[in-house]
Structure 1
Amino acid sequence: MNHPSLFSRRAWTGIVAATVLLAALPLLNLFFADGHPLHVPSYMVSLIGKFMCYALAALALDMVWGYAGILSLGHGVFFALGAYAHGMYLMRSIGREGVYQSDLPDFMVFLDWKAYPWYWSGTDSFWVALALVVLVPGVLAFVFGFFAFRSRIKGVYFSIITQAMTYAFMLLFFRNNTGFGGNNGFTDFKRILGFPISAPGTKATLYLVTLAVLVGALLLCRWIVKSKLGRVLQAVRDSESRLMFIGYNPLWFKLFVWTLSAVLCGIAGALYVPQVGIINPSEMSPANSIEMVIWAAVGGRGTLLGPVIGAFSVNGLKSWFTGAFPNLWLFALGLIFILVTRYLPRGLAGLVRKEQA
C-alpha cells in the first residue's frame, strides 16, 4: 500500500470544508435561538462531539493496525482509562454539592470510604488529571507492549491477549471496593475548571477543543506516516522478518506506535467524559474495542482519514438505527462488517480513490 501524497487535493479540500462546517455547529447553537432555521439543537452538538471522540480513537487504532499491522482488540481499555482519569477530576470538582454533601464523591460515601485511595492523590488538580490522562494509558501500553513484542507475540495471538486485557480491566473496575465507582462509574458532573459543565458556552468550548485535537492528531499521524519512521512501520506491517534481516529491531518501532496510539485513545476518552456526562466500566467491554476495529475497517484502514469517516458513518447510522429498530442494531453492524469486508476491502476511502482513478 503505497501512498505517495497520502491525501489528495480533493481530500485536503474535504478536510478543510468538514472542519469549517463542524466548527460552525456550536456557534449556530449559541447565536441562533430555538426555532430559527439556522439553529442547531444542543443534543446535536453533544452527539457530534461524541462522534469526534470516537473518530480520534479510530484514528489511533489505524496507526497500529493500518500502518504497523498490529490488530488490537483492547483499545477500549485505553479509552476508558483516559476517561476515568479525567472523570475523577470532574467528580472532585463537584465538592459538597453531592447527595451526601461530603468532600468525597457520593459513591465513596455510600460504600463507607473514609478517604481517597492513594492512586487518586492530586486529582483535584486539572493538570494532574491531564497528566494521568496521558501517562496511565501510555505506561500501561508501554509495559504491556514491551513484553508482548519482545516475546514476538503477533497476529491473532496478540489480538486475543489484548481482548483478554480489556476484559480483565472491565471486571476490576466493576468491583465496588476498587474506588472506581463500580457498576455506575462516575457521573453527575457539575463543573470543569470552575465553569458549569452544562452551560452552552462550556459545551461549545469542549466541542471546539475536541475538534482541534482531532485535526491536530490527524496532522500529527500524517506527518509520522510520511516520515522515515512511517516507512519503517509499514515495513514492519508488510515484512517484519525482512526488516530484521537488514538490521532493524522492530521492537522499538512497534512499541512507539503502540504507545502513541494508546495515548491518543486516552485523550479521546478524556474529551468524551465531560461531553457525554458519564463513564463506567462498560466502556471497557470487548464489544466496544471490536466496534473501533469496525470503524477503521468500514472507513478504510491504512488511510488515516478513512477511520475518521468510518467512525462518523457507523455511529451516525447507529444513532438512527437504535431509535428506529433498537433490537436489530447488532445484526446490522455485523452485516455492515461482512459487506465491507467482501465488497469494499479498502473501505469507504478506497471507494473514493477508485472513483478518482
Structure 2
Amino acid sequence: MNFVYDRLLGGRNGAIGIGILALLILIVLPLALDIFRLNLVGKYLTYAFAAVSLVLLWGYGGILSLGQGVFFGLGGYAMAMFLKLEASDPESTAIQSTPGIPDFMDWNQLTELPWFWVPFEHLWVAILAIFVVPAAFAYLIGVSMFKRRVSGVYFAIITQVVALILTILIVGQQGYTGGINGITDLKTLNGWSIRPDSAKYVLYFVNAVLLLAVICVSRFVLTSKFGRLLLAMKDKEDRVRFSGYDVASFKIFIFCLAAVISAIGGAMFTLQVGFMSPSFVGIVPSIEMVIFAAVGGRMSLIGVVYGTLLVNAGKTAFSESFPEVWLFLMGGLFIAVVMFFPNGLAGIYDKYVRTLPFMQRLLGEKKAESDSKTEAKAELEGAK
C-alpha cells in the first residue's frame, strides 16, 4: 500500500493532485460538455502524453527535445495503418483498379500491398509497433548523440532536423504513406465502429485512463533511484559521470521512454480523431508540445496536463472568435506565462494556492511542519 501511495501517486500531495485531475477529466468534463466538445478535449489529452514525456526528458533530465512530434506521429501512423487496412477490404474497395489495398495506393498506381504494410493486418502487430518502433528509433538517435556527448542546443536542433526529414519523407512517399493528406477514412477497430458518439465516449475514457496510468508510471520512475540520478545529471552531469555512472545509458533510456509515451498519445489521437497526417509529425507540433510543458510547468506531471488543456482550449477559442489574430493572441499568452510565471501553472499553484491555509490543512503540511519542529526541539533538549 505504501508502494502505491508513495511511489505511484507521490504521497499525499501527489494523490490529491491525481484525484482532482481524475475527477475533472473522468466526471466533470463528460457531464458538462457535449460530445463534440468532449471529443476536442480527448484530442487535447492525446497531446498531454507528449507533454508528460517532456517532464521526464526536459524537466528532470535537462534534455530539450524539439522532435517529440516524430514519436507522436510514429505511434499515430502505426495505429492508422492497421485501421486503414481494416477499412480497405476487397468488398469496400471493389471499385478500385486493385481491390484490397488502401485507396491512396491505388491512386498512385500500386498493384499490391507493400511488404512493410503486410504485418499491420493484425492488431497485435500495430500495438507492438506503437511501443517498439518509436523506442528503436529513439535508441538509434540516443546512441548516436549521447555516446558522443551531444547535448543542449545542439541536440535540440538535431531533433528538429529529424522531425523535418521525417515529414519530408512522409509527404514525398505518397503512394506508401498517403502523402500530405495522411491516412484518412478510418472506420473500425477490429470490427468495432469508432465513428458513432457512443464509441467516441468510450475512446475518450480509455484515453483519459491511459493518461492517468502514464502519469503514475512516470511518477514511479521519478521517485526511484533512477529519477534521483536523472535530476542529479541535469544539475551536475560531470559529477555523476565521475561517480562511476554511465550517463549516456541513462539518457538513452529516458529518451526511449519519452518516445514510447509520446507514441501512445499518437495512437490514441488516431483513434480519437479518425486520421493521421504529417502535420502532426513535423517541427511546428513538436514546438507546440514544448509550449504545453512550459505553460503547465515542466517539472510537474499534472501541471503539464492542465497546460495542454489551457493552451489548446485557448487556441480553439481564439481561432473561432478571432481567426485573423489568434496566432498573435496565442503567442502573447505564451510570452506572458513565461515572463511572469516561469514555472508555469504548477508554479502559480505552489506560490499562491498551496500556501492558502485550507490547502495546507488539506495537504497536512502544517502538521508535518509542527512535527518536524517538535522533533528538532526534542533532539536539542536531548543534546543538552
**Normalised by the size of structure 1, how large is the TM-score?**
0.92
Residues in 2 aligned to 1:174 and 1:108: alpha-carbon distance in whole angstroms: 14
TM superposition shift of 1:332: 2.1
Moved over 6 A (4+): none
Greater mean alpha carbon deviation, residues 115-124 or residues 18-27: 18-27
Greater mean alpha carbon deviation, residues 326-335 or residues 239-248: 326-335
Q: Summarize the Cα distance change of 1:290–1:26 in structure 2 as closer, same or farther, 3 Å threshold.
A: closer
Residue 322 in structure 1 maps to residue 315 in structure 2? no
Greater mean alpha carbon deviation, residues 112-121 or residues 212-221: 112-121
Residues in 2 aligned to 1:21 and 1:342: alpha-carbon distance in whole angstroms: 28
Residue 23 in structure 1 maps to residue 16 in structure 2? no
Residue 235 in structure 1 maps to residue 238 in structure 2? no
**1:147-174: CA deviations, max 9, x gaps?**
1000110000000000000000000000
Who is 2:199 aligned against?
202
Greater mean alpha carbon deviation, residues 227-236 or residues 96-105: 96-105
Q: Summarize the Cα distance change of 1:344–1:21 in structure 2 as closer, same or farther, 3 Å threshold.
A: closer
Structure with the higher helix share, 1 or 2: 2
Residues in 1 aligned to 2:330 and 2:93: alpha-carbon distance in whole angstroms: 39
Residue 180 in structure 1 maps to residue 177 in structure 2? yes
Residue 191 in structure 1 maps to residue 194 in structure 2? no
Letter in 1 for 2:23: V
**1:69-88: CA deviations, max 9, x gaps?**
00000110100011001001
TM superposition shift of 1:10: 5.4
Letter in 2 for 1:88: M
Letter in 2 for 1:18: L
Q: CA RMSD in A?
A: 1.9
Unaligned stretches of 5+ in structure 2? 1-5, 356-384
SS at match of 1:179: helix
Unaligned stretches of 5+ in structure 1? 29-37
- 1:119 maps to which of 103, 116, 119: 116
Residues in 1 aligned to 2:342 and 2:336: alpha-carbon distance in whole angstroms: 9
Residues in 1 aligned to 2:151 and 2:44: alpha-carbon distance in whole angstroms: 30
TM superposition shift of 1:207: 1.1
**Normalised by the size of structure 2, how large is the TM-score?**
0.85
Residue 160 in structure 1 maps to residue 157 in structure 2? yes
Who is 2:253 aligned against?
256
TM superposition shift of 1:27: 6.4
Percent identical across equivalent pairs?
39
Who is 1:89 aligned against?
82
Who is 2:50 aligned against?
57
TM superposition shift of 1:126: 0.8
Letter in 2 for 1:319: T
**1:45-71: CA deviations, max 9, x gaps?**
211111110111110111100010000
Q: Summarize the Cα distance change of 1:163–1:354 in structure 2 as closer, same or farther, 3 Å threshold.
A: same
Who is 2:100 aligned against?
103
Who is 1:299 aligned against?
296
